[in-house]
Structure formats: structure tokens, C-alpha cells
Amino acid sequence: MPTEPALVLHGFRLSGHSHRAELMLSLLGLDYGFRHVDLTQQEQKGPAFLALNSLGAVPVLVDEGVAIPDSVAILAYLAQRYDPERRWLPTDPLAAARVQRWFSIAQGPVWAGPARARVIKRFGGTADDHARAVAAADAFLPVLDAELAGRAFLAADAATAADVAIYSYVKVAPEGEVSLEPYPAIRAWLERVEALPRFIPMPTSL
């Protein structure tokens, strides 16, 4: 009887939060299992899942029985535990601060803008809520495009966990009726992330 991998990601594959965690696992070349959490049936609010994350949100990584909730926390954990060269989360204070800045942006402007617009269009919400999310995306994306002008990746010369944190919801922004056509630097950066070894795309359906 096959044994379960030491690493198991509990997530929902249409969630950008889940995708960024799974993408990090794949980029690191790690062996992991995926446990589908059915958000459509509110499984994340049931007692079994709440025992893993009291906030009732995906994803949660379980590593040898220890639960690590929150997608950005998972990125930091994986980069520190499984990347001895510390490429994905540098130890240099300035480089580390640059990555942490993008972690904050992932949970702030990215979530309030392109991520929220997509969630509303795909899973439900009001027109007013969508309009506010699109306005937030329209304020953020020009800033991101300017940051990427003349730069290959967000926080360093090579890809880091910063790029993993930002990629998923920016890539699927058009699903929320947020166009990426005005942003050539963003579109070029998305292609560079997608060219990384062991990249896995975010699915459009289950």
C-alpha cells in the first residue's frame, strides 16, 4: 500500500492562493500530495479543516504532521526549509526585504484588485464590489508594469518567491475582466515565470 507523501497541500486548484503554494512546491522539485478542499461545499469551514487552519481558508501545507496555513507563509517556509542555496528567499537583509515587500503586496493590492475582481466574476458578488476591485486593479497594475520595466524579475536578477507570490492572480486577471493588454512589461514577466523549470499553470476548471 503506497504511503502518503510527507508534504500534503490542502487546497482548491481554482484558488490563486492555492496555486502559488503548489507552484512553489513544483519549482522546488518537491514530492507532494494534493488534498482537494471543496470550497463550493464550504468544506473549509468544517471541523476537520478548521483543525488545520482556524481561519478556515485554503491553502494549508502539512509537513510531516505539522500544519502551515496561509499561502505566503507557505512560500516562506518552503524556501527556507527546502532551498539550501536560498535562491527563492535570500538571506541578505536587503534582498530579503525586497521579497517581503512583494509578499505584502500579494496580500494587499493584488488581493484587493485583480484577485478580488476575478473572485467576484467567477464565484459571485455585486456589480459595485466588482467595480471597486477593477478600480483597485487599474491603480495597481500600472505600478507593477513600471516596476518591471527594464527588470526581469521582481526582487532580484533571478526569480524568487516574490514572483511566485504575485504571479497567479495577475495571470488570471482577465477572468475578472481586468485587461493586461496595456501592460507589456507585465506580460513579458508572466512569460518569464512560465518559462521556469517545473512551472505548472493555474487551471481554468476543475
Residue 2's pLDDT is: 55
The pLDDT confidence band at residue 40, using thresholds 50, 70 and 90, is confident
**What distance in Å separates the CA atoms of residue 15 and residue 121, rounded to the nearest whole number?**
13
Q: Which three cell numbers stand for residue 149?
A: 520595466
How is domain 93-194 classified at the CATH fold level?
Answer: Glutathione S-transferase Yfyf (Class Pi); Chain A, domain 2 (1.20.1050)
Per-residue pLDDT tens over the stretch 4-37: 788 999 999 999 999 999 999 999 999 999 999 9
Residue 168's pLDDT is: 98
Neighbours of 190 (CB within 10 A): 18
- Is the domain spanning 7-82 CATH 2.30.30.40? The answer is no
Per-residue pLDDT tens over the stretch 20-29: 999 999 999 9
Per-residue pLDDT tens over the stretch 90-131: 999 999 999 999 999 999 999 999 999 999 999 999 999 999
Q: Which three cell numbers stand for residue 53?
A: 487552519
Instruction: Read off the pTM.
Output: 0.95
Residue 3's pLDDT is: 67
The residue ranges of every structural domain in the chain are 7-82, 93-194
Mean pLDDT confidence for 167-174: 98
- Is the pLDDT confidence value at 163 over 80? yes
**What distance in Å separates the CA atoms of residue 173 and residue 144, rounded to the nearest whole number?**
13
Residue 206's pLDDT is: 72
The domains spanning 7-82 and 93-194 adopt the same CATH topology: no
Residue with cell 504511503: 3
Beta strand ranges found along the chain (DSSP E): 7-11, 33-36, 60-63, 66-69
